[in-house]
C-alpha cells in the first residue's frame, strides 16, 4: 500500500518539525540528510535547540515555541507549499497547535508523527504530563504513527511503569496495541523495538486501517545508541516519499538502522556520539532508482 505517489521529476517538500541538537546525532540532524538523500526538499521547523542529546549529564535547551507562529506565517506569506508534515520531539504543548495549523493549511499533506516522548517505561525529562497529553492527541491524527511500547501506552492512556520498562511482549499484545492505536484514529501504525529475552532479533510491527498487522524483524545488536528511533522513523518516511509501500518502508528502515549501528560501533566513543549513518546514505538515494 503506497501512501505517497512520486511524480516524475517532482521533488516533494517536507516540513520537518523536530528539535535541532548540536552534538549527538538525532532529530533534525538525522531527518534533514536522510530525507534529502531520498530526493525531498526538507523544510525544518525547529521545536527546540539543544546543545547535545539528553543522555548526557549536562545539556542546554532553548524552547522555540514563541517564534513558531511568526516563522510559519512567513512561509505562508511567500507561498510555500508542503507535501508532508513529519513531526518528532516537541518542546511544549502549544507546539501541537502549531502542527495542527500546518495540517489545516496543507490538508492534502501526508501526516507522519514520531511521538518522541518516552522509552523503557520512563518519560523523557523535558516532557510534562500536559505535553504527553498533547502529543497523544496529535498521534491520533497521523497517517503514519511510529511509537515504541512506552509511547504507545501513553497514547492509549495505559499506565507505563514496570510493565513497559522492557520490550518483551507477545505477537498478540503487539497486534492489540497496533489495533488500539488505529481505533484511536491513526491510519497506519509502526510499533517499533520489540526485543524478547533470549532472542537474537528485534521486531517491528506494522498495521493499519487497510493493512493487516505484519512483523518485520532484524538481527538484534547487543548495544543501544541514542537517536536510532529518529533514524528509523526518518528512513520509514524517506522510503514512503520515494514511492515505496509502507511494509517495504518498514523493512528498509530496520535494515538501515541495523547497518548504521554496525558502522557506529567502529567509531571512537560511539555510545555517546549517536548513530553514524552518513556512509550509508547512498542506500537511501537508491530508493529512487
Residue 113 pLDDT greater than 80, yes or no:
yes
Going from the N-terminus, what domains does the chain have, and what CATH number goes with each?
A: 13-268 (3.40.1190.20)
The string over 146-156, giving b where at least 16 C-beta atoms fall within 10 Å of a residue's C-beta and e elsewhere, is bbbbbbbbbbb
Q: Are 171 and 215 in contact (CB under 8 A)?
A: yes
Specify which residues 46 forms β-bridges with: 18
pLDDT for 273 = 83
Q: Starting at the edge strand that comes first in sequence, how are the strands of the sheet with 201-208 ordered?
A: 61-63, 41-52, 13-23, 84-87, 110-113, 144-145, 188-194, 201-208, 211-219
pLDDT for 165 equals 66
Q: How far apart are CA 124 and CA 117, in angstroms?
A: 6
The model's pTM is 0.96
Residue 223 or residue 104, greater confidence:
104
Question: What is the tens place of the pLDDT at every residue in 179-204?
Answer: 999 999 999 999 999 999 888 999 99
Average pLDDT score over the chain:
94
Residue linked to cell 510559519: 72
Residue 102 pLDDT class (50, 70, 90 cuts): very high
Amino acid at each position: 500500500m503506497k501512501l505517497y505517489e512520486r511524480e516524475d521529476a517532482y521533488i516533494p517538500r517536507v516540513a520537518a518539525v523536530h528539535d535541532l541538537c548540536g552534538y549527538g546525532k538525532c532529530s533534525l540532524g538525522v531527518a534533514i540528510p536522510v530525507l534529502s538523500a531520498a530526493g525531498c526538499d526538507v523544510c525544518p521547523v525547529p521545536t527546540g535547540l539543544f546543545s547535545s542529546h539528553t543522555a548526557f549529564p549536562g545539556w542546554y535547551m532553548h524552547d522555540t515555541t514563541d517564534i513558531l507562529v511568526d516563522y510559519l506565517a512567513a512561509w505562508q506569506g511567500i507561498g510555500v507549499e508542503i507535501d508532508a508534515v513529519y513531526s518528532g520531539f516537541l518542546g511544549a504543548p502549544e507546539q501541537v497547535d502549531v502542527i495542527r495549523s500546518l495540517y489545516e493549511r496543507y490538508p492534502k499533506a501526508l501526516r507522519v508523527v514520531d511521538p518522541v516522548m518516552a522509552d523503557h517505561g520512563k518519560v523523557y525529562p523535558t516532557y510534562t504530563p500536559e505535553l504527553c497529553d498533547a502529543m497523544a492527541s496529535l498521534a491520533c491524527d497521523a497517517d503514519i504513527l511510529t511509537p515504541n511500547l512506552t509511547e504507545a501506552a501513553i497514547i492509549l492512556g495505559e499506565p507505563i511503569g514496570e510493565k513497559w520498562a522492557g520490550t518483551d511482549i507477545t505477537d498478540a499484545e503487539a497486534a492489540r496495541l497496533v489495533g488500539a492505536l488505529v481505533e484511536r484514529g491513526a491510519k497506519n501504525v509502526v510499533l517499533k523495538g520489540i526485543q524478547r529475552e533470549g532472542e537474537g532479533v528485534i521486531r517491528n510491527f506494522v498495521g493499519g486501517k487497510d493493512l493487516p498487522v505484519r512483523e518485520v524483524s532484524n538481527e538484534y545488536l547487543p548495544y543501544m545508541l541514542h537517536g536510532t528511533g529518529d533514524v528509523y522513523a526518518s528512513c520509514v518516511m524517506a522510503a514512503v516519499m520515494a514511492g515505496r509501500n509502507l511494509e517495504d518502508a518498514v523493512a528498509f528502515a530496520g535494515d538501515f538502522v541495523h547497518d548504521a549501528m554496525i558502522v557506529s560501533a567502529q567509531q571512537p566513543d560511539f555510545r555517546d556520539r549517536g548513530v553514524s549513518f552518513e556512509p550509508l546514505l547512498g542506500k537511501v538515494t537508491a530508493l529512487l532508482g
